[in-house]
Amino acid sequence: MNFLITGAAGFLGSALANQLAREGHQVRGLDDLSAGDPKALYEDVHFTRGDVNDRPKLWTLLQEVDCVYHLAARVSVSESLLYPREYNAVNVSGTVSMMEAMRDVGVNRVVLISSGAVYGDQPVQPLQEDAAPFPHSPYAVSKLAAEYYVRTIGALWGIETVSLRVFNAYGPAQHLPASHPPVIPNFLRQAVRGGSLVISGDGKQTRDFVYVDDVVRAMVAAATAPDIDGMVINVGSGHETSVREVVEKILQLSQSAAEVIYSPRNDMGVSRMCADLVLAGEKLGYVPRTTLEDGLRKVLREDPRIKNEMEKNKA
């Protein structure tokens, strides 16, 4: 098949592009490189630097494409609080531009990578796809709006659509911004370098941490799965883990004596998150294979930044 992946140089985008290339598909990638790294992509991936709002460029890249994976987005909840307009421009307007270009060229299917953040705080766990969304941040609002646009424009113009609500994905070489980095790679790096692990709140807030390889398998399946048009499907591990438990596992696996500090700041987001995976199993044949402990071991073994820190400590 011929694929176009937007956000192809990002953490999930590059993992997906490389897997599709390994399977022998023709893969085109688009990324503005605001956060991605094209060096993460295999040579077989035909990469173009560009903006997802550039319609003429999209028309060119979409020629003879069977399915689009739309991952291009700004993804920091904390950053979105400060820059909601920018998040709307990329995550919402960029999605509309992509759907319009797909309509113009005649592409048949799109897989939108959304987020479990759209649920917000919910009274019942695990989170089922029919729960009423209650987004807490401009980022979550933008992903929910993107879902509605994808489904609505798809229905109007005969484009098959599916939105995958990915929960807290992690894995080797995950992007680590200086401000508000993702929990797992940040804690692992701090643990191996002997720094401090700062937990917001009491650490009892829970998340559904899902390993990147599992997410990629769900994304690959979504390109060809039958009878999923217009659907929203969760992609997670199906396990609820507190931030405090994550820290304990990281310290144990890394054999670190790093200090753990609890910050009283109330910026820990929703209190609980866990994905219900019944629909993913039924429609995508999805069953997560990597436990949190195994996933943390893989990151410790394979992430080049963490390996460098460990080598420094040995020296």
With beta carbons less than 8 A apart as the criterion, state whether 42 and 19 touch: no
Report the range of poorest mean pLDDT among 36-45, 155-164, 299-308: 299-308
Q: Band the pLDDT of 315: cuts 50, 70, 90.
A: low
Could you report the per-residue pLDDT of 127-136, keeping only the tens digit for each? 999 999 999 9
CA distance 16 to 278: 23
- List, for residues 169-193, the tens digit of each pLDDT value: 999 989 888 777 899 999 999 999 9
Distance from chain centroid for Cα 20: 17
Residue matched to tokens 């650490």: 203
What pLDDT, in 10s, does the model give residues 237-288?
Answer: 999 999 999 999 999 999 999 999 998 865 557 999 999 999 999 999 999 9
**Would you tell me how many other CB atoms lie within 10 Å of the CB of residue 179?**
8
How many other C-beta atoms can be found within 10 angstroms of the C-beta atom of residue 265? 9
**pLDDT at residue 241, rounded to an integer:** 98
Q: 6 - beta bridge partners?
A: 30, 70
Residue 267's pLDDT is what? 58
The rounded percent of the chain whose pLDDT value lies above 90 is 88
Average predicted confidence (pLDDT) for the chain = 95
Task: Give me the pLDDT at residue 134, please.
Answer: 96
- The tens digit of pLDDT for each residue in 37-86 reads 999 999 999 999 999 999 999 999 999 999 999 999 999 998 999 999 99
Q: Annotated catalytic, 139? A: yes
Which of 50, 57, 56 has its CA nearest to residue 33?
50
CA–CA dist 130, 37 (Å, integer): 36
Q: What is the pLDDT of residue 268?
A: 53
- Please state the rounded mean pLDDT for residues 117-134: 97
The single residue of 69, 119, 139, 170 carrying the catalytic annotation is 139
Q: Following CA atoms 283, 284, 289, 290 in sequence, which dihedral angle do they give, to the nearest 10 degrees?
A: -100
